Amino acid sequence: MYFVTAPFFLRWYYPKITFNKSRKERKIYLTFDDGPIPEVTPCILDTLAEYDIKATFFCVGDNIEKNRSIYERILSEGHQVGNHTYNHLRGWDTDDNIYLDNIAKCQQLTGTPLFRPPYARAKKTQLKALYGRYEVVFWDVLSGDFDEQISPEKCYRNVVRHAKSGSIIVFHDNIKALPRVTYALPKVISYLKRAGYDFGVL
């Protein structure tokens, strides 16, 4: 089970986490988790380039090291990167010291002020150690592209039904998401552009 939009209780439980940006600007923030992955990330980059849009990629350190040229392309094309741990660890299931060391290992590659916990699963003790060193970013619209039980069209509709000014939208550049993200992303961008939105990086 997952929430397409961030519920109130989650915002209440994590008051220092960024769920969205200013609602006063008609701007959307596209984000992509888990890459870089050769089968997916270049397709996403091609789509973003076609529409002249910059986005934020929360990268897994191990994938950066395996796919350096794709990571360099993300940077060279003007996109922002964020830390998504080195091994895509679930914080709830990981000792605090191991988790924080894993983030630090990824940080050596990214040097970014942004961190997003994989699965949105991090203990309060872990987050307390990260606040002040990173802007911890969740989202307010989850596309569901990782969910193999939904259609690409459903993924698209998850986004366009809930996106609004300041929304941080999550897609994934991983293998599981491939059929949904490659279908939904250009349609989402086209729809939101027609609705008068601009796009920004975090």
Residues taking part in catalysis:
33, 172
Q: Which of 61, 53, 76 is nearest to 171 (CA)?
A: 53
Long-range contacts of 143-148 (CB under 8 A, 24+ apart): 143/169, 143/170, 143/171, 143/172, 143/180, 143/181, 143/184, 143/188, 144/2, 144/4, 144/180, 145/171, 145/172, 145/177, 145/180, 145/181, 145/184, 146/172, 146/174, 146/176, 146/177, 147/2, 147/180, 148/176
Distance, CA of 202 to CA of 187 (rounded, Å)? 22
- Reduce the DSSP state of residue 180 to 3 states and report it: helix
Tell me the C-alpha distance between 127 and 119, whole Å.
Answer: 14
